[in-house]
Every structure is written in structure tokens, then in C-alpha cells.
Amino acid sequence: MKGKKDEADVMVKRDVYIAIILFALGIVTRIPFMSKVFYYWDCVNYALALEDFNVAEGRPGAPGYFLYIMLGKLMHLVIDDPNACFVWLSVVASGLGAALIFVLGNMMFSRCVGLSASLLFLTSPLVWFHGEIAFPYVLEGTLSVALAWLCFQTLGQPRLAYGIGGALLLAVLGGLRPQGMIFLFPLWIYGIHKLRQRDMLLTLCGLGMFVLMWVVPMVILSGGWLAYYDAIRTGSSTLQVSSIKEFGMSVWENSEKYFRYLMKACTIGLGVLVFGIPLLVKHKKVFEKKSTRILLAWIIGPSCFFILIYLGNPGHLFTCLFAYFLVVAIVIEHLTRNNKTLGSILLGICIFVNIGVFLVDTHPDRVWHKKTWYRASDLQKKNQYVLNKIEYIRENLDPKSTILLADTGGSGHVPQLAYYLPQFRTYSFLAVRAQGQRSVLYSKGDKTLAQMDIDSPFLIPTEVKTIVLFDSKYEKAFDFSSGAYARIKLSDGVEIVLTYPESNNYLEVDYQSLSLVRL
């Protein structure tokens, strides 16, 4: 008996060492590629929320990320750069995610499954990329792993302490990103369904209390319930469909996105899934295991919403994505159960392809562009694209006689320019309004943006001598025969385009064209 106990202690220590090594790998592999600028629009809003949290005014966007911003504030005490505060949260979450996936996989299946899933997580191009930028998705996914672990524990040992722990974790998840709490609620309910009725009621009450602990201050800081509700209503307008046909098209588009994002996360691991899952399904005993049911509850709830209702950017998938790494690891172990060497080779190929996709730049001569496979080179080129242009503008142009034109789409940098160059006037022309008017987004001079309708064409202020075409959309749309211009080469292959309007020039803007005219 003593020998078995000593052996078990050795195994536990070994697992702890493995988890620590995986945590360290998660940190070390992320540090060299950390983004130095706000990668997306929302990243700027998180930084603005550090200074003045108000969901009603878009700092951050609805439904609000209260605990995520509060964590950012804690990081801001020791890190001066707001972007770096949130990037470091993603880096640390990557390390924790690697360790927790190993622990969960080891506990629910085997050490081999846990280690394989953790390595797939660490090398996934999509996860690696999001571990380098100021987004909450990796942290949300890591907490989903912790929640799955607690649900598994609660199923095996239906204790009130586990139920309350799960309620607290689900509430924290909601504070980081409220959508995650909603999507993972079915998983949590399945985890606590074996609790005694009294304990389940206490657990539900605990969840409500924990949620109120961050909802109340968030709403107060946002100007009250009415202001917060208006922000939520405006933010949810994208979820509305007007017909069955439109719903069908939405489902088709969401399904295509879902599997495209899975491919970018798993690369050839998705092929392993497609080939191996039908073989697993043949074994009916698989579905009798509580570990398998945990995975199903983890995946099915969020996936139904993403396919039937809405799926935006790839980070949304992180609510359930990490479960797929476990499934891939399970499939590999099942397919190669009689040949461990073959299993190691198959896993090694998946890891090798993942690393190659992330690290290899397939277009080394091309500067940053919005179409991406989520590679390390995209992070580097984005840094170069934004920082080189901003440095040139700061050092060579006068804010009083310069306006900046930038795009609002995936390739746009309107919020970044408003934040990094608040002394300059930044514009982005949006949809055409009735009676020749056009909606324009502009910087207010305090790092924030506002929207207004203007006459089209737009009269360029008389003091303006230079217009900067910051983003490629405006470079491609501009009619260079309509006025003087200069294309200036900066370092790292980056170029910046300047145009020089004459007095009484108007800027004529259409969907596909941009030109200087005299009226």
C-alpha cells in the first residue's frame, strides 16, 4: 500500500512539473511577438475605459467588459502603456490556459490526452495570435477550461463548495465578457444538476449575487440603467433578421465562418476531427462517460448561438474552442491506441504545421494588409505600418494644417489615430445620407470619436495644406490626377501618401472614389 501511495505521489509531482513547464511555454512563446499597437478598434475602447469607464459612451463597447477593464487597471499600476496592459493579460492567460488544459485532459481522460491538447493549444495559430493582442478572448477561453474542470468535479462529488465555486467562476466569466457567461450557462447547469435541491438553490442565488457585484458598479459608471439599456439595444441591432430567407442566409454565412475559424485554429487537426469523430461515435459507450458529456455541453451551447444567431470575429469562438483541442487529442489517441509511435508522429505533424502556419511569412515582400491567416508576421507588419506612419506625421506635419483620412473597416485605423494623434483632425467618410449628405466619423481631440452628417462634397478648411491618406482604402480610391500628391517611402517598406489641396478645394467622396474638386 505504501509503495502504491509513493508511486501516486510521484505521478502527482510529475503532473505538477508538466503543468508548470506548459505554463512557462505559454509565456515564453508569446513574449517575442507581443503587439506594440492597438490591433483592432475595440482595443482602443478598452484603453479609453481605463481612463473613464462608460459603456453608454462606448468605453468599452456594449455589453461592457467590467472585470476585464478592472484587471487592466491593476496592470496599469505597473505598466504605463495601456495596450501593453491588456496584451500582458493575454500572455499570462496563454500560460494558464496551457496548464489548465493539461490538468483537465489528464483528469477527464489521460495524461497523453491532456499533454497533446495543451500542445495543440500552445501552437494553434489563431490562439497564438490572440495571445499577442489586447483582446479578452484567450482569458475567456482559459476560464472556460477552469469552469469545465469545476463542472466535472461537481458531477463526481456533488458538493455545495464545488457548486458555489462554479457559480463564482461563471460570474467572473460574465464580468470579463458577458456573452461567455450566457453561452456557458448550459455547461454549468449540467455540472450542478446532481446537487441536492437545497444546494442547487443556494448555488443559483450565489450566481445572482456574484453577478450583481460587477453589474451594479458597471451600470452606475455607465450613467444608470436607462443609459446602459440604450447601449445594449444599439449594440444588439446586428442580431435582427427580417425574413426566413435572411435567416437562412445568416445561418449559411455563420456556418461557413464557424468552420473557417476552426480551420485557422486547428489547421490539419480539423481533418483529424472530421475523419476520427465518426469512428468515435460508433462506440456508444463514449457518450455514457461524464467527461464526454462535459465536452458536449461545453461545445453545443455556444455553437448553436454562433451558427443560428451570430458569429463575428474569430475570437468569439474561444468560448468553446479549447474543447476542440481536447477532442482532437482524444481522436488521435483513439486512432493510434495500438501504435503509440504513430500517435506521436500524427501529433507531431499537427504541431509542426501549426507552428509553420504561425511563424512562416508567405508574403515577405508585402506590407501589412487586412487579409490574414493570423501569423506572427501580421503582428510585426501591423506594428511597422502604424508606428512608422505615426512617427512621420508627428515629426513632419503641422496639426493645424493637416487632416488625416482613415478607414473604419478591418483595415482601418480611425480610432488608433484619434488615440495616438489627438492633436490632429481625423476623418472617415461613411454612408451617403439622403439629399446629398454624408455621415462622417471624426476625432474630437480628446482621443475619442464622434459622428455627424456633413454636406457632400466636403469643403476643405482653408488652413489645411496637407491631407494624409493613411489607409489603403483611400489610397486606392483617390484620383491622383485631381491634385498634387507625394508618395513618401518610410522604413520597413511602408509608404505614406500625402495630397496637397488648393484653396477653396472640396473633397468629393463616393463609395469607390475620392478626388479634389473646385466648385
Query: Average pLDDT of the chain?
Result: 89
pTM above 0.75, yes or no: yes
For CA atoms 460, 466, 470, 476, the dihedral sign is: positive
In whole angstroms, what is the distance from residue 92 CA to residue 426 CA?
A: 35
Can you list the alpha helix ranges (DSSP code H) found in 267-317?
269-281, 290-308
Can you give the pLDDT at residue 500?
A: 92
- 244 pLDDT band (50/70/90 cuts)? low
Residue 230's contacts (CB-CB under 8 Å, 6 or more residues apart) are: 56
Q: Residue 212 — pLDDT band, cuts 50, 70, 90?
A: very high
For residues 76-82, give the mean pLDDT: 96
Taking Cα atoms as reference points, which of 383, 326, 316, 375 lies closest to residue 126?
Answer: 375
Q: Render pLDDT for 22-61 as a digit per residue (tens, 0 to 9).
A: 999 999 999 999 999 999 889 999 999 999 999 999 899 8
Cα–Cα–Cα angle for 310, 101, 303, nearest 5°? Answer: 15
Quick one: which of 318, 284, 286, 281 has its CA closest to 303?
318
Give residue 429's pLDDT: 79
Q: Is the pLDDT of residue 288 over 90?
A: no
Quick one: which of 151, 87, 96, 148 has its CA closest to 122? 96
Question: How do residues 457-477 score in pLDDT, each as one tens digit?
Answer: 777 888 999 999 998 888 887
Under 8 Å between Cβ of 295 and 326: yes
Closest CA to 481 of 505, 512, 516, 511: 516
Taking CA atoms, 307 is separated from 183, 237, 247, 258, 312, in Å, by: 13, 17, 11, 7, 11
Taking residues 272-295, what's their average pLDDT? 80
Q: Which segment of 113-127, 181-195, 291-305, 466-480 scores lowest on mean pLDDT?
A: 466-480
- Residue 484 pLDDT grade (very low, low, confident, very high; cuts 50, 70, 90): confident
- Residue pair 417/46 in contact (Cβ under 8 Å)? The answer is no
pLDDT the model gives residue 513: 66
Could you give the residue ranges of the DSSP H alpha helices within 77-196?
82-108, 111-123, 125-130, 137-156, 160-176, 178-183, 185-192
Region of 466 (left: φ > 0; alpha: ψ -120 to 50; beta: rest) is: beta
**Strand, coil or helix: 117:** helix
Please compute the mean of the pLDDT values over residues 148-160 and round it to a whole number: 95
Q: Choose the weakest-confidence range: 260-264, 363-367, 400-404, 452-456.
A: 452-456
pLDDT at 6: 61
pLDDT given at position 510:
63
Residue 5 pLDDT greater than 70, yes or no: no
DSSP code of residue 29: T
pLDDT of 242: 47
Residue 165 amino acid letter: G
Q: Are the CB atoms for 158 and 194 separated by under 8 Å?
A: yes
Confidence of residue 3 (pLDDT cuts 50, 70, 90): low
Q: Report the pLDDT value the prediction gives residue 460, as an integer from 0 to 100.
A: 83
Q: How confident is the model at residue 434 (pLDDT cuts 50, 70, 90)?
A: very low
Res. 307: pLDDT tops 90: yes
Crossing angle for the helix pair 340-359 and 111-123, to the nearest 10 degrees = 20
CA angle 293, 297, 298 (to 5 degrees): 115
User: According to the model, what pLDDT value does residue 237 have?
Assistant: 56
| More reliable by pLDDT, 235 or 377 | 377
- Give the cell for residue 163: 457548486
